[in-house]
Structures are given as structure tokens and as C-alpha cells.
Amino acid sequence: MTSRVEVFVQLKEGMLDPQGKTLEHALESLGYAGVDGVRVGKWITFEVQGEGREAIERQVDEMCGRLLANTVIERYTFTMREAGA
Amino acid sequence: MSPVPIGVVRFPGTNCDQDVFDAVAATAGAQPVWLWHKETGLRGVRGIVLAGGFSYGDYLRAGAIARFSPIMERVIAFAKSGGPVLGICNGFQILAEAGLLPGALMRNDRLTFVCRDQPLRVDSVRSPFTASFRPGEIVRFPIAHGEGNYVADDETLDRLETAGRVVFRYVDEDGRVTAAANPNGSARSIAGIASENGMVLGLMPHPDRAMSLLVGSEDGRGVFRGLMEAAA
Amino acid sequence: MTVAMRDTPVTPDVVAAHGLRPDEYDRIVELLGREPNFTELGVFSLMWSEHCGYKYSRAWLSELPSRGPQVVQGPGENAGAVDVGDGLAVVFKMESHNHPSAVEPYQGAATGVGGILRDVFTMGARPIAMLDSLRFGNLDDPHVRYLFRHVVRGVGDYGNCVGVPTVGGEVVFDDSYAGNPLVNAMCVGLLRHEDLMRATAAGPGNPVYVLGASTGRDGIHGASKLASTELSEDSAESRPTVQIGDPFTEKLLLEATLELIASGAAVGVQDMGAAGLTSSSSEMAARGRTGIEIDVARVPRREPGMTPYEVLLSESQERMLVVARPDQETALMAIAEKWDLPCTRVGVVTPDQEWRILEDGDEVCRIPVAALVDEVPRYAREVDAPQYLAEVHARMPGPAAVAAIDPLAAIETLLSAPTIACKRWVWEQYDHTVQTHTMLGPGRADAALLLLPGTRSAIALATDGNGRYTYCDPRRGGALAVVEAARNVSCVGARPLAVTDCLNFGNPEKDAVYFQFVEAVRGIAEACRALDAPVVSGNVSFYNESPAGAIHPTPTIGMVGLLEDRDERPRGEAAGGDAVVLVGANGSHLGAGCLLSEVLGLVAGRAPDVDLEAERRHAEIVRSLIREGLASVAHDIGDGGLAVAAAEVCFGLPSGLGIALDLPAGDDSPHGALFGEDGARYLLVVPAVSLVEVRERLAATGAPWRQAGRVTDDGRIGFGAVGSRERNELQRLWEEAIETRMENLEDQR
């Protein structure tokens, strides 16, 4: 089975995100009022082969915790679906 | 007495490897030894330097990929057994990613790379790396990084402060900690920290670029002398 | 031309779409003895473009001096090389990446840096420095700020990652560059003479490899389309032809290539950057007087379904073409594997001087090498001076209009003009200390000064070029670019050795532009001859035009100078009571200068006259005073004249010090003395104890000079009877001019 995985990585709530803050200012100065809480993150996609949804989920979770996100400063979520589905 | 072998680790994308190699070679009593990232042994070195650069292009996060290379398993074990390890710039980022030092290094608050001559204050001489400095001494090392904004939670920062593990801080010309003198937004202007036993030092500024008055400063010599003495 | 089908018929429209003239097409048919197929047509359009074939410029470039005892490698290779003693040679070249940077500033600038780095390390030299000469429109325009911000970031990110210090360059802002910025990157490398590698496909039977990144569809026709036509409203749509840079792979390629050359496994190495596989393979064969046969099916690709046309014309970055020794394949592969780089055998050197391309064994192109490389059409014509020159000269304001300018206000305007202002915002984004040999980096002196490891000597590096001068006086402008670089190099005590030139002009098919080009090249040639600084490498960039018109013609000169003893450099020390000495005549020439352009918004008058003998003599005087420790600071007098030079010297002195200038007596209007941009002039700080000796020395030379003031302890900068200002106040204007503009929050894109 091939699963299509999408991982989202963002700075944890409460961590200062200078990039997000800068974008927020820029949007404001472009005339978009009421914009708040801009955060910039990463979106990582890949396909993974394997059997058993739970086993794959465990594996992806491990990938995120070990490499794709730095859990000192970042949090992550991911979605999975069968490729081609 | 035969010179103390000091390993200089080269990852793909490391670009201060030769600078560090030369700095070790210029340190009396030390002998630099190359360590390739694919190696699984340490060639008998007694101290290790992780040099600056852009290991694996700093893709994903600075230091994130290098941390999993074969040599790092040995470096981590070496540090845990009490061996001296110095991480400069990208080396500091790798040490933090590997969990050998607490906290993380984020993108500079101004969002741009910054290269300048930076005054630093030596805030702790407990670590062997700073044993030859005076407490509160002002030194000058160049900085050159895009992701040097040191962050950790308040509890960790307090713990580092009380244990004398904050080794270098960014200061102005007069030795004062000010927001303007902080080049990257680091928490409490922290430029370098040490492990609990003082044997692992990570810092963003480059002592390897401060080895000769011909290039503006020789204040970095003390750090390499400290490394050699800790390794001897 | 989104889909390039191999069996597309070659019609006159298709020929025209490839930028080839009907008579050029006829010549191709004559050379081949038949009609070219579609792929061959694409290959000719590339190789006969200005970017690859120099068809409009080559005839004039041969007038540039390129020989001298110091020259190790002149033009015609990937880069030039000069001897710097101790068995070492310095390899260097400057190249433009203007149009890619106009369309996509970050990647355009980054890949410009990548390309010039490869030109240097394919010669076997380790890159030790980069300089960047940049031109943008008015910084008050948000689009210009966007281009500036991203070009600087692109230059920085690439060079910083590869680990080559960016030690100098220039940035100039002028309306003429608004739609067409200039990004000229110079790379300097170092090697031992015996390690010099040439890009030759020698030895029939030798295997040919592609080392490095895989090939994608990026940059197809980048050189011929982007670099050899004017920018139009549609150029934003050209984004797919802009290449994406990968500095990490470049760093691996650098290390692998140097290791490969040192191992002796390679016969020849060439970058596959601009114009890709086609130009690299045909040029290597041309140099080796051999043929080459390549099977495009073997070239590793990033995308499926690529045609031979696309593989041949792709400008994917970070790739090398390597001709290896036949018995060294294992060594080559081991090096590639060590650096995690793909390396694939794609062809062979042949004895027949044919450029032959196969796809899975079937022939798709067969062209004599000479037809691609040596038979490029050359266009040289004599044209008359264009009408605009007389108009520009006549526009020079009269003495009354000049006298009406408030000099102190003008000084403030000049110091806060982005062209003159401090460039810290730029160079702090560049790593200028990696490799630990930067003695004088950006912002420290008129030229960068680099230690040569293992020796007593140092090299000085500078880039210069003045588009306004060249627009007003093409011949003088060409010469002034050279002498300005020579003055800068002399100000750190070094002697000019050789230059590289990057010639940025508009559309050469227009007579006015062609005149500017021909005259500027003549000016460069005269100055290089007089200063004994041959041109060892270079690049021509035409078609720098936007809908608003052509850029100011901008020949940029990159100069390498040698300081045999690094201790004989200016020490930068100063104290109150030291003398400020002017070497050269008092200023008077305001034409084409910064006072007119920045204060009156005028491009008018003639450029300063060029006295090459005075340039040569005065530079020698300044170097000898520095060498003997008699001048602790040296700064050439250029943009904004004596007033700006004195302020800039003052800003480099320890805090608290000031300068009090004396203006020449008996002058009714101080404007000429303060703002004149006459040539061959320097401002020196002479220690008080050395003043008597310096007076005697200068008197003996017969050169014009005077004591123009002194260093003071009062922290003010005084301009004679005109008045004075707090140094800190002026310094703040100068330091913050660019930073303040770049902090504009609306910009963050």
C-alpha cells in the first residue's frame, strides 16, 4: 500500500515568529485590516510504502519527532491517504 | 610530549572546516585530524570540533540532517563520556539538534543573514574552553549566520544562568547587554552555552576567525587553547 | 515554443523565432551543405547568439590588451589567470546575470554567483573571494527596493553557503537601471601554477562525463532569449527560463572538481551553466581541435519525456562536463561517490572535429565543431557619434546656476544619496570573513585586501564602473572605469596587475548603443595599456533595455592588484593634528558628476578628462608613501569630489575625531573645489611627524599637491569658509540612508 502523507510544521504557540510578524505588518500596510495571528510554517509531502495504517502512522509520527520537526520549538500535524485514492 | 589529536568533522556543506583545521594547527600542543561524516570511528582523537557552514545545505533546519550522520553517533557517545566538544556556528546548531545542548537556534529576528565583527562578554570561566579568559572580559569574534537566534524556555534559561553555563553574551563596545547589540534576537543575548560538565561548548560567533591580528582579532586563541588543555 | 518537437519543420518563422537572421540561416545551410533539422537550428541559435558567440562584440574585444609577463592565462578560457609570485596564480573573471535578475531577482542573482564560481573552480582554483557590482533604479520606487532586497539576498545566500567570502563590490542607483538592473559578479580563485586546468577535450577516445546535478527543463534558451534580447512587458512570463540555484550541490561540486583535478584523472573540465551541454561540449572540442560524440539518452534527467533539443539547451545549474583519462574511471567514480554526486558517462572524444549528438544510438545532430564556434558571424560597423551626446554636453548648467547651490545642503544630499551612502545594509548580509584571509573587507577601504596564505603578500580587489560618465562620454567612461579601479587598488598600497571586464550595454543593433560600446572598449584598451593592466577575462551583456529605453552604458572593471609585503599597507591610525594632504590638482570639473545628478537631477556635461600619465604617476606616489608608512589613510577622490572624500575619510577615523578642510584661496565659487570629480586625485592622512618628509617627497615629484586640511579633535567636519557640521550628524545621514529606506514595511515580499 502506498500512502500519501502531508506534514505541517509550525512554531509552537507562544514562540515568537518574526517571519509571521513581518508578514502581518506587511498585510496591514497593504490595507488588509483585522489580520491577526499570522504564522509561517512548512508543508512537507511524500509517499510511503507499507502495510497497516496504524503502523505507518506510528512510523510517520516518529519521522516527524526525530527529523522533520524540532520539538523544542516546533509542533507538527500530518494527514495520510492512500495514494491514487 | 606528543601533540593532542583534535578531530575536525566535515559534513557535506561544512565550509569552515579548513579555518578550524588551521586554528587547531596554530594551537601549541594540538594536532588537527580530519573526521569524515561517513566515518564510524574517531581515529583516537581526544577532542572534537564541529565547524561552521551549511551542512546538508541547512535544508529543513540548520543542523537537522547532519545530526543523524554516522559520525554524530560517535560524537554524541564521546561527549556523553566526558570528552571535550566544541561546536561553532553550524556546529552549535548541530549540537542543539542532537540534544547535547539545550534550546534551539531559530532564524535571526531581523530575518537576514548577519556578518559583522561582534564584541562578546565572557560570562563564565567555569568551562575549560574559557579557562584562560577573565570573567567579564570583552572579546571580539566575527559572527556570520542566518539562524543564530537562541531560544529556550524560561526555566531552561534560568537553569543555564544559575549554573554558569551561559558562557558568551552579545554586548556593545562598552560591554553592555543591549537590544541594539544583540544581532539576532537571542534570548538574554546568549551567544554561547556549555553543557552541565562544561565540556561541550556551542557558540554562534567564530573564534576560528579570530586567530590573528592580521584579520582583526586573536581573541579566539583562548578557546582553542582551552580545548587543547581539556583534551590533553 | 513550449513544446519542442523534434520533427517541427524548419520554416522561416521558426528561424526568426530562434533569433536568427535570414542571411545567417543561409550561412548555416552553406556550412552544413544541407538544411538543419529543428534540433540543430536550436543549437545554432544558441551558439550564434551574442551571449555565446559574441557576434557584435568580438571584433572590438580583440583591441583590448591581453598580454604581459604577469599573464598566465588570457581570454578564451573559463577565466583568466595572473602570476602573484610564490608559485601561485590568481584566477578571476566577472560575469553578468542581468536579465535573469530582472525577472526573478533572488534566483537570478544566486545563479549568477553560482556560474562565476564554477568558471573559476573548473580551472582548478579554489575560490577565495567574490565581489558584486550592482546597479538599480531609484530606491524610492518599491519595485526597485524589491529587486535590490532579493538580489542582495540571492548573492548572499549562495556565496555564504558555498563558503566564499564576498569582500567588495559596488552598488549604484540611477533611474536608467529602473527596469533593467545590473548584477555583475566577480569571482577570484587561487592555485599553484602546476594545477591550472584548461577546458579542453583532448585525446580522441577519452570518455566524457556529466558530473553533478541532473538536467531539467529550466533555463532553456535562457542565454539566447533572456540574455540576447531586450526585456519587454512579457519578460515576467519568462520565469520558466530562469534557473534555480542549489548552493549546497555547488559546494559539493566545488570540492569534487578540485579533488578530481588534483588526482590527475581529468583531461579537461567545463561548466555546463549558460548554454548548457551544447556550448560546453562544442567549446571543449574546439579548443582540443577534436570532435565529440554525446548520447543525450545517457544524460541524467529530472523530468521524463525530454527531447534532445531540451537536453542540449537546458541551463540546469551545478553541472560539469568532464573529459577523463580512459584508465581513470574508477578514480573519477570514487570521487563522485565520496561527494554524493551523480557522475555518468555520456560520450567520447572523437578525432573527426564533428559535433555529433545521438539519442539512444540514433544520430540527431551532426555539425562541424568549427561551424558552431569559429564560424559565428561577426558584425563590425563604423557608426557616427549619436546626436544625444551634443545635447547632453550642451545641457551643462552655467556658473550662475551652479553658484546658486547651497554647498552645505548639497553635502548632506550627497552623503545621504544611496549611491554614495554607506552600504552596510548590503555587506552585512554577505559572509566576508570565512576562509580567514580578509585583512580589509567591505566598508574598510577603497579596495578589499586579502592575505595569500603561506606568503608575505596580499592581493587587492576592486570593481568600478560609472554609467553616467560613459553615457556622457563613452570613451572617457571606459577609461575612467579602469583608472578608478586602479586608484582604489593603489589606496591599499597595491600595484594593479590585471583586469576582467563586464560590458553592460543596450541593444547593439542600434547605432547609438553600438557607438557607446565601441568607444568604451577603446577607452578601456587605452587605460589598460597605460596602466600595464591587461584584460585577461570578461563578458559582454547587450540588450540591457526596458520599455523605458537603454541603460546607461556601463562597463564594469574588476581589478586585481598585488601588495608584495602585507605589512606595507595603510594602518588606518590617526590623531588630532595629523595632516590631510591632497595629491593631484584642485577640483573644478562638475560635468557628468554627482553634484549635478543628485542635487539638480541632471545628467549633463562631459565626463572628467582622463590624463593617463597623471593617473599612473600619482598612483605610484601614493603607493610609495603608504609603503614607507608616511600615509596612514588613503582614499581616492571620486563621486562627490573632495567634500565627500573628506567626509568618508573622517567616518573611518576613531570616534571623536574630525577633519577641517582648507579650500584653495582666490576661488569665488567653492563648488568646483568641493565637488569637482577631476581624475588622478587622492586624499591622504599623513601623521604629524611625517609631514615635513612628505612635503619634501611630494615637492620632488613635481606632481600637483597641497595640504588640504588637518585632523581635529573637535568631532566636526569643516569645509573651509563654507562652514562645518557635526561629524556624527553627517555620519548618521550617510550610514542610515539605505537602511531607513529598506525598513519600509510595505515591501516585505
Q: Taking Cα atoms as reference points, which of C668, C649, C486, C615 lies closest to residue C562?
A: C486
Q: How far apart are CA C543 and CA C552, in angstroms?
A: 12
Q: According to the model, what pLDDT value does residue C448 have?
A: 98
pLDDT in tens, C356-373: 999 999 999 999 999 999
Contact between C431 and B112 using a beta-carbon 8 Å cutoff: no
pLDDT in tens, C12-36: 998 998 889 999 999 999 999 999 9
Q: According to the model, what pLDDT value does residue A84 have?
A: 67
User: Helical H runs in C428-572?
Assistant: 467-472, 474-490, 511-531
A7 within 8 A of A60, measured Cβ to Cβ: yes
Mutate to test the interface with C, among A21, A29, A35, A40 (most CBs of C within 10 A): A29
Instruction: Name the closest residue on chain B to residue A42, using Cα atoms.
Output: B60
A19 within 8 A of A65, measured Cβ to Cβ: no
Q: According to the model, what pLDDT value does residue C4 have?
A: 45
pLDDT in tens, C397-417: 999 999 999 999 999 999 999
pLDDT in tens, C268-320: 999 987 678 999 999 999 999 999 999 999 999 988 889 999 899 888 889 99
DSSP H or E stretch at residue B156: helix B154-162
Q: According to the model, what pLDDT value does residue A20 have?
A: 85
User: Helical H runs in C532-683?
Assistant: 594, 612-627, 641-651, 671-675
pLDDT in tens, C159-194: 999 999 999 999 999 999 999 999 999 999 999 999
Contacts of C746 in chain A (CB under 8 A): 26, 29-30
- How much of chain C, in percent, has pLDDT values that exceed 90? 87
- Please give the grid coordinates belonging to residue C175: 533611474
Query: Which of these is catalytic: C51, C589, C635, C671?
Result: C51
Contacts of A19 in chain B (CB under 8 A): 107, 111
C97 is catalytic: yes
Contacts of A23 in chain C (CB under 8 A): 748
Please give the angle made by the CA atoms of C268, C246 and A66, to the nearest 5 degrees.
Answer: 125
Number of domains chain A contains: 1
Give me the residues of B, 48-107, that contact A with CB < 8 A: 60-61, 64-65, 68, 96-97, 102-104, 106-107
Only one residue has cell 526596458, namely: C546
C475: which residues sit within 8 A by CB, 6+ positions away?
A: C519, C520, C522, C523
Is B62 at the interface with chain C, CB within 8 A? no
Q: How far apart are CA B75 and CA C654, in angstroms?
A: 45
* pLDDT > 90? residue C497: yes
Q: How confident is the model at residue C66 (pLDDT cuts 50, 70, 90)?
A: very high
Q: Taking Cα atoms as reference points, which of C79, C88, C165, C194 lies closest to residue C457?
A: C88
Contacts of C146 in chain A (CB under 8 A): none
Q: Could you give the maximum distance between any two Cα atoms of chain C, in Å?
A: 84
Q: According to the model, what pLDDT value does residue C744 have?
A: 72
Q: What is the DSSP letter of B212?
A: B
* pLDDT > 70? residue C570: yes
CA distances to A75, B145, C599 from A11, in Å: 6, 20, 48
pLDDT in tens, B199-215: 999 999 999 999 999 99
Structural domain span for residue A9: 2-82
Only one residue has cell 597595491, namely: C494
Q: How confident is the model at residue C1 (pLDDT cuts 50, 70, 90)?
A: very low
ipTM: 0.97
The CATH number that applies at residue A71 is 3.30.1280.10
- The nearest CA of chain C is from the CA of B171 a distance in Å of 18
Which range (B133-147, C40-54, C455-469, C726-740) has the least confidence? C40-54
C359 within 8 A of C295, measured Cβ to Cβ: yes
C18 is catalytic: no
What structural domains does chain B harbor? 4-231 (3.40.50.880)
DSSP per residue, C101-127? HHHSHHHHHHHHHHHHHHHHHTTTPEE
Q: For B15-26, what is the mean pLDDT?
A: 98
Q: For C35-54, what is the mean pLDDT?
A: 91
- How much of chain B, in percent, has pLDDT values that exceed 90? 98
| Helix/strand/coil for B9 | strand
Q: How far apart are CA C207 and CA C203, in angstroms?
A: 9
- Please give the grid coordinates belonging to residue C488: 582604489
pLDDT in tens, C629-684: 999 999 999 999 999 999 999 999 999 999 999 999 876 789 999 999 999 999 99
Is C747 at the interface with chain A, CB within 8 A? yes
Contact between A16 and B96 using a beta-carbon 8 Å cutoff: no
Q: According to the model, what pLDDT value does residue C222 have?
A: 56
Q: According to the model, what pLDDT value does residue C667 have?
A: 65
pLDDT in tens, B80-118: 999 999 999 999 999 999 999 999 999 999 999 999 999
Q: How far apart are CA C252 and CA C84, in angstroms?
A: 28
Contacts of B212 in chain C (CB under 8 A): 436
Q: According to the model, what pLDDT value does residue A85 have?
A: 53
> What is the gyration radius of the CA atoms in chain B, in angstroms?
16
Q: For C430-444, what is the mean pLDDT?
A: 97
Q: How far apart are CA B88 and CA C32, in angstroms?
A: 60
Amino acid identity of residue C480, one-letter, is L
Q: According to the model, what pLDDT value does residue A30 have?
A: 79
Contact between A22 and C749 using a beta-carbon 8 Å cutoff: no
Is B60 at the interface with chain C, CB within 8 A? no
CB pairs under 8 A between A and C: 13
* pLDDT > 80? residue C420: yes
Contact between C160 and B144 using a beta-carbon 8 Å cutoff: yes
C347 within 8 A of C295, measured Cβ to Cβ: yes
Sheet of C88-96: strands edge to edge?
C71-73, C80-85, C88-96, C182-192, C126-136, C166-173
Q: Taking Cα atoms as reference points, which of C159, C144, C171 lies closest to residue C110?
A: C159
* pLDDT > 80? residue A43: yes
B31, with CB counted inside 10 A (0-12, 13-18, 19+), is: middle
Contacts of B102 in chain A (CB under 8 A): 72
C725 within 8 A of C638, measured Cβ to Cβ: no
Please give the angle made by the CA atoms of C266, C272 and C273, to the nearest 5 degrees.
Answer: 140
Q: According to the model, what pLDDT value does residue B67 have?
A: 92
Is A49 at the interface with chain C, CB within 8 A? no
Q: Taking Cα atoms as reference points, which of C457, C485, C629 lies closest to residue C555?
A: C485
> Quick count: other Cβ atoms within 10 Å of Cβ C384?
8
- The nearest CA of chain A is from the CA of B109 a distance in Å of 6
Contact between A23 and C748 using a beta-carbon 8 Å cutoff: yes
* pLDDT > 50? residue C3: no
Residue among C428, C436, C451 whose CB faces B209 most closely: C436
- Across all residues in chain C, what is the average pLDDT? 93
Contact between B12 and C251 using a beta-carbon 8 Å cutoff: yes
pLDDT in tens, C610-639: 999 999 999 999 999 999 999 999 999 999
Contacts of B106 in chain A (CB under 8 A): 11, 15, 73
* pLDDT > 70? residue C355: yes
- Please give the grid coordinates belonging to residue A85: 485514492
Mutate to test the interface with C, among B34, B90, B113, B209 (most CBs of C within 10 A): B113
* pLDDT > 60? residue C239: no
Helices C511-531 + C612-627 axis angle, to 10: 40
DSSP H or E stretch at residue C371: helix C369-373
- Please give the grid coordinates belonging to residue C481: 572605469
Q: Which chains sit next to C, with 3 or more Cβ pairs under 8 A?
A: A, B
Q: How confident is the model at residue C739 (pLDDT cuts 50, 70, 90)?
A: very high
- Per DSSP, what are the bridge partners of residue B145? B114
- The nearest CA of chain C is from the CA of A30 a distance in Å of 6
Q: According to the model, what pLDDT value does residue C204 have?
A: 95
* pLDDT > 80? residue C241: no
* pLDDT > 50? residue C238: no
How many residues in chain A? 85
- The nearest CA of chain B is from the CA of A15 a distance in Å of 9
- The nearest CA of chain B is from the CA of C428 a distance in Å of 5
Q: How far apart are CA C486 and CA C29, in angstroms?
A: 48
End-to-end CA, chain C: 31
* pLDDT > 50? residue C52: yes
